[in-house]
Amino acid sequence: MSILLELLPSAGPVLVVGGGTIAHRKVRTLVEGGFQVVVIAPAVSEELAELPGVTVIRRAFAHVDIDARPWALVLACTGDRQVNRAVGEYARARHIPVLVADAREESTAAFPAAHRDGDLLVGVSTSGADPALAASLRDLVAGALGPGRAAQVAAARAAREARRRRESAE
């Protein structure tokens, strides 16, 4: 069973195994969220390697990579079914949330297609059935919300903090 995650960068670094198109898309999303990312793959594009907050290790994955750091999340995004399966097995054995890009049933986490406006985050997932459909639905939701929701979230946060201050003063 998968869970949708909104991890905060303070949860820790993320390990991405793979350097292709899917890995690049996931890494870009993680970097935009403020995460420190380690990519392990024999081949990685320069564009991916130059993203801020990304460390690239150009070699094949080894099982000890899972134990190298306290990962907040692991992503298996290679074109090799056996490698992806092994990454998933090692991560699950250590109770680390894992997304196995080519096998939803081996994943314990999923990336929704996300729309962010300041602190507002809206995600849509098809549980891996069709990422393009999820992206299309995300765009529909974002369009329906319209711009300026970040200001509403900021105002709600300020009101909540003021309410908490009043309550703690009583």
- The whole-number average pLDDT for the span 115-129 is 83
Could you tell me if 64 and 85 lie in one domain? yes
Counted domains in the chain: 2
Q: Which domain holds residue 21?
A: 3-111
Q: Both 119 and 100 in a single domain?
A: no
Beta bridge partners of 113: 124
pLDDT tens digits, one per residue of 18-53: 999 999 989 998 888 888 999 999 999 989 999 998
**Residue 66: C-alpha distances to residues 37, 74, 97, 115, 149 (Å):** 13, 8, 12, 30, 39
* pLDDT higher than 70, residue 1: no
Kindly state the DSSP code that residue 79 receives in the 8-state scheme.
S
Q: What pLDDT sits at residue 9?
A: 65
Question: Phi first, then psi: what are they for 127, rounded to 5°?
Answer: 55, 40
Q: What is the pTM of this model?
A: 0.80
- Which of 90, 111, 132 is a domain's end point? 111
Which of the given ranges, 78-82, 118-122, 153-157, has the highest pLDDT on average?
78-82
Q: What residues pair up with 100 in beta bridges, in sequence order?
A: 76
pLDDT tens profile 128-149: 788 889 889 999 999 999 988 9
* pLDDT band at residue 4 using 50, 70 and 90 as cut-offs: very low
Of the ranges 22-31, 87-96, 117-126, 153-162, which one carries the lowest mean pLDDT score? 117-126
Please check whether residue 106 is in contact with residue 100, taking contact to mean a CB–CB distance below 8 angstroms: yes
125 and 54 inside one domain: no
Residue 128 host element (H or E): none
Q: Are residues 54 and 98 in the same domain?
A: yes
CATH code, domain carrying 98? 3.40.50.720
